[in-house]
Amino acid sequence: MFDLIIRNASLPDGRRNMDIGIAKGVITAVDQSISSEAGQILDAVENLVAPPFVDPHFHMDATLSLGMPRMNVSGTLLEGIALWGELRPTLTREALVQRGLRYCDLAVSKGLLAVRSHVDVSDPRLVTVEAMLELRDLVAPYLDLQLVAFPQDGYYRSPGAQASLVRALDMGVEIVGGIPHFERTMEEGRASVEALCRIAADRGLMVDMHCDETDDPMSRHVETLAAQTMRFGLQGRVAGSHLTSMHSMDNYYVSKLLPLMAESGMAAISNPLINMMLQGRHDTYPKRRGLTRIPQMIEAGIPVGLGQDCVMDPWYSMGTGDLLDVANMAVHASQMGSVADKTTLFDAVTVNSARILGLDGYGLEVGCNADLVILQARDPAEAIRLRPARLHVIRRGQIIAQTAPSLSVLNIPGRAGHVDPACFAPGQKFD
Ligand SMILES: [Zn+2]
């Protein structure tokens, strides 16, 4: 006896016409045909059923603050940081929680059920930390929110940041962050990576640093991060976020760096939307894309996750809460257009990111949490192309969000009828 059976599911690995049986919030069967009773039956009609989207890099404390106190005129990372610095003293716990709740509503509607958020610890009031811890508890029934202690203005550069970061960890923030490229000197950046990895090792925590978010090819803190990961025995617990300087690095140097990163067991988190918007700002033409080397990293065996970074904040005036927007941008900016590439990028916004976050019970196997998304698409490649409706979003076996399927009707003589969003002839295939 199941609480819920989803019939006729297409799975991300290519299996079709599969049934998924769910009992007590857990997946208890995945089979060609489950002939058992169920409290509820959902027909997926051969649509894609996937585990939920996971955003491995976000700023929940800044989201939806666009225009406060003014817009970012230059469009640069540095003006964004300055703007956030103006806004920070005016932040209140209540407003932060309310913005976070509104964003999480949007996220859930897009099938995004786990988010790693960096939390700025630069303001010694730590109102951001208090608010995000409250938000983490409020959304816990439907969204996993993981928090990183992030010294936005520099671990050494900002007075009091060292003490604030430790206080944030004591308060319950679970991951150590950093921003070595924003420290005053290369040497202080290097030292910050070492100090922050030591804190993580001493406390048994994970590390996720904003690392080399610059077009400067000599910004090489990722090398230090990989080396310190091994030195402190942090293999499998460290992520480098952004890594955009790698785009501009000398190819010979990268041929040494990639194996070092792979050896260290560190993960890479790229944020294609924001990188396309912020990087290359000092270029005239041609302009660099400023995206890290996603295909090369995947080839080298480095786990790659893709995040949003920002939605409607001082750094980015766009964003929808949809990780398929992120994957769609990665297809273009990294020139990964084959079906296999797109399937790999779908993994980067689902299973890879879940692994980076260390989520327990994530996936489509028997015994995993019954957290699922039914999309109005046939497979991962089509999902990235269409960014379709999330027909049902399921958490622990309960439907927590629904969206009506997209349906356009034509009124043209001779062409009257519905428009198939995928727009293929019946039976048309490609790979
Ligand atoms: Zn960020």
Q: Could you give phi then psi for residue 41, rounded to 5 degrees?
A: -125, 130
Q: If you measure from the C-alpha of residue 57 to the centroid of ligand 1, how many angstroms do you get, rounded to a whole number? A: 6
3-state secondary structure of 274: helix
Band (pLDDT 50/70/90 cuts) for residue 124 is very high
User: pLDDT of 245-293, one tens digit each?
Assistant: 999 999 999 999 999 999 999 999 999 999 999 999 999 999 998 899 9
User: pLDDT of 162-185, one tens digit each?
Assistant: 999 999 999 999 999 999 999 999
**Average pLDDT score over the chain:** 96
The average pLDDT across 361-387 equals 97
In this prediction, residue 429 carries a pLDDT of: 76
Report helix angle 323-333 to 339-348, nearest 10.
140
Find the Cα–Cα–Cα–Cα dihedral 380, 381, 387, 391, rounded to 10°: -30
268 within 8 A of 260, measured Cβ to Cβ: no
The angle formed by the CA atoms of residues 402, 142 and 136, to the nearest 5 degrees, is 140
Q: If you measure from the C-alpha of residue 147 to the centroid of ligand 1, how many angstroms do you get, rounded to a whole number? A: 12
121 within 8 A of 159, measured Cβ to Cβ: no
User: pLDDT of 192-207, one tens digit each?
Assistant: 999 999 999 999 999 9
Q: If you measure from the C-alpha of residue 210 to the centroid of ligand 1, how many angstroms do you get, rounded to a whole number? A: 6
Question: Residue 94 to residues 117, 126, 416: CA-CA distances in angstroms?
Answer: 18, 13, 51
Q: Of 411, 389, 307, 305, which is closest to residue 352 (Cα–Cα)?
A: 305
Question: Residue 160 to residues 58, 93, 123, 167: CA-CA distances in angstroms?
Answer: 24, 20, 8, 11
178 within 8 A of 240, measured Cβ to Cβ: no
Judged on CB neighbours under 10 Å (0-12, 13-18, 19+), 68 is middle
CA 153 to chain centre: 22
Domains defined along the chain, listed by start: 2-51+363-408 (2.30.40.10), 53-357 (3.20.20.140)
Q: If you measure from the C-alpha of residue 85 to the centroid of ligand 1, how many angstroms do you get, rounded to a whole number? A: 15
In this prediction, residue 423 carries a pLDDT of: 83
What the block records as the tokens of 257 is 């760096």
User: Is residue 431 over pLDDT 90?
Assistant: no
The average pLDDT across 134-153 equals 98
- Give yes or no: 213 in active site: yes
User: pLDDT of 387-403, one tens digit each?
Assistant: 999 999 999 999 999 99
Q: Could you give phi then psi for residue 380, rounded to 5 degrees?
A: -60, -40
User: Is residue 77 over pLDDT 90?
Assistant: no
Q: What is the pTM of this model?
A: 0.97
Band (pLDDT 50/70/90 cuts) for residue 122 is very high
The active-site residue, picked from 130, 187, 213, 382, is: 213
Name the DSSP class of 88.
G
Q: Of 304, 319, 211, which is closest to residue 274 (Cα–Cα)?
A: 319
Q: If you measure from the C-alpha of residue 203 to the centroid of ligand 1, how many angstroms do you get, rounded to a whole number? A: 23
User: Is residue 427 over pLDDT 80?
Assistant: no
User: pLDDT of 23-71, one tens digit each?
Assistant: 999 999 999 999 988 999 999 999 999 999 999 999 999 999 999 989 9
The average pLDDT across 299-308 equals 98
* Alpha-helical regions (H) of 250-350: 251-264, 272-278, 294-300, 323-333, 339-348
What the block records as the tokens of 164 is 């604030």
In this prediction, residue 354 carries a pLDDT of: 98
The average pLDDT across 358-371 equals 98
Q: By percentage, how much of the chain surpasses pLDDT 90?
A: 93
**Rounded CA gap, 173 and 119, in Å?**
9
In this prediction, residue 69 carries a pLDDT of: 87
Q: Of 113, 201, 213, 106, which is closest to residue 154 (Cα–Cα)?
A: 213
Residues having C-beta closer than 5 Å to ion ligand 1: 309
3-state secondary structure of 392: strand
Judged on CB neighbours under 10 Å (0-12, 13-18, 19+), 247 is buried
* Alpha-helical regions (H) of 6-126: 77-87, 93-109
The average pLDDT across 371-388 equals 97
**Rounded CA gap, 3 and 397, in Å?**
8
In this prediction, residue 161 carries a pLDDT of: 97
Kindly list the strands in the beta sheet with 238-242, ordered across the sheet, starting from the edge strand earlier in the chain: 53-58, 112-120, 144-150, 175-176, 206-211, 238-242, 267-270, 304-306
Q: If you measure from the C-alpha of residue 19 to the centroid of ligand 1, how many angstroms do you get, rounded to a whole number? A: 39
The average pLDDT across 102-126 equals 97
What the block records as the tokens of 160 is 């009091």
In this prediction, residue 368 carries a pLDDT of: 98
Q: Of 338, 347, 273, which is closest to residue 307 (Cα–Cα)?
A: 273
Residues composing the chain: 431
Judged on CB neighbours under 10 Å (0-12, 13-18, 19+), 69 is exposed
DSSP string spanning 355-381? HHHT-TT-SSSTTSB--EEEESSSSHH
DSSP string spanning 23-45? ETTEEEEEES---S-EEEEEE-T
In this prediction, residue 426 carries a pLDDT of: 73
Band (pLDDT 50/70/90 cuts) for residue 137 is very high
In this prediction, residue 43 carries a pLDDT of: 97
The average pLDDT across 233-238 equals 98
In this prediction, residue 420 carries a pLDDT of: 85
β-bridge partners, 269: 241, 305
